[in-house]
A and B are shown apart, each in its own frame.
Chain A
Amino acid sequence: MLRCDSYDKAIQVVWDGLKLLSPAVRGKTVLLKPNLVEYSSTAPINTHPTVIAAAVDGLYRLGAAQVTVGEGPGHVRDTELLLEECGLGAALRDVGKATYVDLNNDEVHRVPTTTSLTALAELWLPQSLLAADVVISMPKIKTHHWAGVTLSLKNLFGVVPGSVYGWPKNVLHWQGIDNSIVELAATVPIHYVIADGVVAMEGNGPLHGHARDLGCLVFADDPVAADALCCGLMGIAQESIRHLVLGASLGNPSPTDWLMCGERHEALQQRFRVCPHI
């Protein structure tokens, strides 16, 4: 975890974090999965474009063969409009080497699910996700009115294609949000996490919460550990987050077993307000 109190510093901090993390990307195809929900001029809903663009650039510097940014927004069909309004389109053009794929409309393949947490025996998932050697989940650190928090695991809802399941992907809600999060995480491996906590969101997330300066970026090679750490940063007990409890076996939730580099999380820990309906 590295301190980053402004997006002006994010390019350097992302590069520093990638060097610490040393992701095995040399010669590999990488899919970056940011959290891109919808545009708001006031609320920090989405993973910041600067962080995404810096990750693209850094991964190429580390020898990645191809870096693709992919997302399938759950409420927005017009990805072109969203990319331009949230600034990601311009940020990726500046980097120059990144391709963007709309996971809602990508080719799909059948993938058997691997748990019995949902009644879904299979999921139809995007080609760009399945073909990537390395998947990096890039959530915005936020509270969530249904799931408690939305971090690297919940971020996987965005890989489920709207062209198959609709807008929103309501079938996942009917299977139970927490169960669906873990089903997806067990089916789709997340190799690394880069979480945007420079400006985070508290309260009625994922869309209508309030900005909270958390001032850090989190880099991890374990999504469960990353999400547990982010819960700690928000002052939320990881045991209160059902999908983290259900999905504990998908990673290492125990802080005593983590090898931590960079900032001590106690130094940045805050107490976020959660949605009163939770």
Chain B
Amino acid sequence: MDTSAHTELRTREPRTIEEMALQRLALRKFAPNTGDLLGAQLPCGAWSNRPVTAIPNAYTTGLALIALANNPWAPEVRSAVERGFSWLERTRGREGHWLWQWKFRLFDRQVRFDPNKFGWPWMENTVSWVAPTAIALLAYKAWNRPSERVPSALAMLEDRACAAGGWNAGNGHAFGVDLDPHPDFSAMALCALEAHDAGEFFLVERTARFLGRRLEECGSAYSLAWGVLALQRSSGRRLGTLVESLRRISGRNAATLNTAALALTALALESPAFDLGTRA
């Protein structure tokens, strides 16, 4: 389906690899291309979100791998994908190291989480967070790539969920308080769990309910688009309303949306909405 979001997206020059990967995904049927993504890969195999910084980023690497899974095959793609996954395999949240597990278990206990369950950090030498873990998991699924990292990362997402369902950037409980979920992180984590047929039933249900309720009056295309991408599998109850809101907002404001929001909108308004855990 060619929407106003697709039309506007063709005019955009991506400024980050996140924007580039999402744009390539959204335009895969109209202007397939992987050359710029392949050219931006770092020697270590990762992608930096801001190429000028050359700082490897697990979230961006996951998105680039998903985009490569859905664009035309070229011989050089195989090698880029191998190097990308090789970087993901050896990059882990710091809590995955025994020394830090010990510290978190004995001393640093204000933030409640199980350091045995770890995923991916945004950047090296930091701990695991929801968004890079969820996107990396979707990349593994998109390429049907088995890995010992996947079960631990899925367990980490379940461990970090908020009590009321959904996720925020990374912790459900800190300093004696249950923390609130955010729509985009909730949607990313839900996409990842469902793509891997994981996730405890009540957690999925609570998250779907949270997203439906939270996004009902939402005026942001970015959060709405993530919500539609996540709810397509788990819940048809409010999906139609959210799709209509997104269509209305993007039709009115496509020119003012940032490129990532625009691309997510285009993916969410496909029929059916794009599944981030699949490969073309």
Inter-chain contact B168/A166, CB cutoff 8 Å: no
A-B contact count, CB below 8 Å? Answer: 95
B222: interface (CB < 8 Å)? yes
Residues of A within 8 A of B57 (CB): 166
- Interface residue SS majority, chain B: loop
Residues of B within 8 A of A76 (CB): 182
Min CB gap B173→A, angstroms: 11
- 21 A-B residue pairs with CB within 8 Å: A75-B168, A77-B182, A78-B182, A78-B220, A81-B183, A81-B222, A84-B220, A110-B53, A124-B55, A163-B16, A163-B18, A163-B49, A164-B55, A165-B122, A166-B123, A167-B122, A168-B129, A171-B126, A174-B125, A204-B177, A275-B175
Inter-chain contact A170/B129, CB cutoff 8 Å: yes
Residues of A within 8 A of B170 (CB): 168
A108 contact from B52, B183, B261, Cβ within 8 A: B52
Please, how many angstroms separate the alpha-carbon atoms of A44 and B276 in the complex? 37
User: Which of chain A's residues 160-182 have a Cβ closer than 8 Å to chain B?
Assistant: 161, 163-168, 170-171, 173-174
Residues of A within 8 A of B50 (CB): 108, 124, 161, 163-164
B119: interface (CB < 8 Å)? no
A191: interface (CB < 8 Å)? no
Inter-chain contact B222/A145, CB cutoff 8 Å: no
Count of interface residues, chain B, beta-carbon cutoff 8 Å:
41
A164 contact from B53, B121, B127, Cβ within 8 A: B53
Inter-chain contact A105/B184, CB cutoff 8 Å: no
Please, how many angstroms separate the alpha-carbon atoms of A168 and B170 in the complex? 9
Inter-chain contact B175/A208, CB cutoff 8 Å: yes
A133: interface (CB < 8 Å)? no
Inter-chain contact A166/B132, CB cutoff 8 Å: yes
Query: Residue of A at shortest CB range from B18?
Result: A163
B223: interface (CB < 8 Å)? yes
Known: A164-B50, A167-B169. A204 touches B175 (CB 8 A): yes
Min CB gap A179→B, angstroms: 15
Min CB gap B182→A, angstroms: 7
Please, how many angstroms separate the alpha-carbon atoms of A110 and B50 in the complex? 12
Inter-chain contact A170/B127, CB cutoff 8 Å: yes
Given A75-B169, A76-B182, A107-B15; 4 other pairs, CB 8 A cutoff: A77-B222, A164-B55, A171-B123, A208-B175
Residues of A within 8 A of B258 (CB): 105
Known: A164-B55, A166-B122. A78 touches B222 (CB 8 A): yes
Query: Residue of A at shortest CB range from B188?
Result: A77
Min CB gap B14→A, angstroms: 12
A165 contact from B123, B182, B218, Cβ within 8 A: B123
Please, how many angstroms separate the alpha-carbon atoms of A84 and B123 in the complex? 30
B176: interface (CB < 8 Å)? yes
User: Which of chain B's residues 7-26 have a Cβ closer than 8 Å to chain A?
Assistant: 15-16, 18
Please, how many angstroms separate the alpha-carbon atoms of A15 and B64 in the complex? 49
Please, how many angstroms separate the alpha-carbon atoms of A167 and B169 in the complex? 7
Residues of B within 8 A of A80 (CB): 219-222, 261
Query: Residue of A at shortest CB range from B257?
Result: A80
Residues of B within 8 A of A170 (CB): 121-123, 126-127, 129
Residues of A within 8 A of B6 (CB): none
Pairs A-B, 9 closest by C-beta atoms: A166-B122, A170-B126, A81-B220, A80-B220, A208-B177, A78-B223, A75-B169, A167-B169, A124-B53
Inter-chain contact A167/B129, CB cutoff 8 Å: yes
B131: interface (CB < 8 Å)? yes
Bits for B172-199, please: 1 = Cβ < 8 Å to A, else 0.
0001110110111100000000000000
Min CB gap B23→A, angstroms: 15
User: Which of chain A's residues 14-61 have a Cβ closer than 8 Å to chain B?
Assistant: 38
Residues of A within 8 A of B55 (CB): 124, 164-165
Please, how many angstroms separate the alpha-carbon atoms of A173 and B169 in the complex? 15
Please, how many angstroms separate the alpha-carbon atoms of A78 and B214 in the complex? 13
Residues of B within 8 A of A81 (CB): 183, 218-220, 222-223
B94: interface (CB < 8 Å)? yes
Min CB gap B251→A, angstroms: 16
B144: interface (CB < 8 Å)? no
Inter-chain contact B125/A171, CB cutoff 8 Å: yes
B59: interface (CB < 8 Å)? yes
Please, how many angstroms separate the alpha-carbon atoms of A76 and B170 in the complex? 11
Inter-chain contact B53/A108, CB cutoff 8 Å: yes
